[in-house]
Amino acid sequence: QEVASKKDQQQYWARKEEPYRFDTVKEFAEAFQSFHTGRKVGDELASPYDKTKSHPAALTTKKYGVNKKELLDANMSREYLLMKRNSFVYVFKLTQLAIMAVITMTLFLRTEMHKNSVDDGNIYTGALFFTVVMIMFNGMAELAMAIAKLPVFYKQRDLLFYPAWAYALPTWILKIPITFIEVGVWVFMTYYVIGFDPNVERLFRQYLLLLLVNQMASGLFRLIASAGRNMIVSNTFGAFVLLMLLALGGFILP
């Protein structure tokens, strides 16, 4: 850079017996191309490269360094490790749900609920509505955890560590057993104490339905976290979505 500069070129002038004159970049390039080294480089560049002589590992042919299964396994292991580190959150959620289940059991304590009037139906509907609200709000803890992991995810995704699906799938799959436990604690503690239909088939139907509601809530809050990207926006938007779900759920606004 200094050799090509008008200010600094003179200090590199080697022929002291000759007066200095400024050489432009174009003159340097022409001199190099006329020199035997430049001609040799030009000849090498002019001939097409024989790809058969290159090492197969010299250039990558894939977007990611490993195959899809290994990407999924790596993200699965990482997500499992993060879940173990954040085990307090899941234990706390489960304990909170159990305490709320005990409170609900005492609130709707019935050995036999009557089914003879609209008021009796309202009691059933209130119990079911409160159950759905509890299961849905229990997934709100995903919001903060998802936002905390977003900066690392975006950085690693942009550096082509893994595609987005390899990050999202383990997050969903590994949460399924926790959903089974959480919903199981609620349903098996409250169903018969509240006085719902004693048919065991109805018990498992409610269990399945609440499983799906919990999965929907977890996915919804993860979506809100990825769309909002910070706690203020995500909490505001999450509260609005919950308000819409509750208002249009058929209980508050029939």
- 10 Å CB burial of residue 185 (0-12, 13-18, 19+) is middle
> Per-residue pLDDT tens for 204-214?
999 999 999 99
Torsion angle of C-alpha atoms 189, 110, 106, 103, degrees rounded to 10: 40
Angle at 204 between CA 120 and CA 209, to 5 degrees: 75
Is this structure's pTM higher than 0.85? Answer: no
> Per-residue pLDDT tens for 142-200?
888 888 888 888 998 888 888 889 998 998 999 999 999 999 999 998 888 888 888 89
For the cut 90, the answer to whether the pLDDT of residue 41 exceeds it is no
Q: 39 — alpha (psi -120 to 50), left (phi > 0) or beta? A: alpha
Q: Cβ–Cβ contacts within 10 Å for residue 238, how many?
A: 20
Q: What is the pLDDT of residue 113?
A: 67
> Per-residue pLDDT tens for 70-101?
999 999 999 999 889 888 988 998 999 999 99
Q: Helices 231-247 and 118-137, interaxial angle, to 10°?
A: 160
Q: What is the pLDDT of residue 60?
A: 67
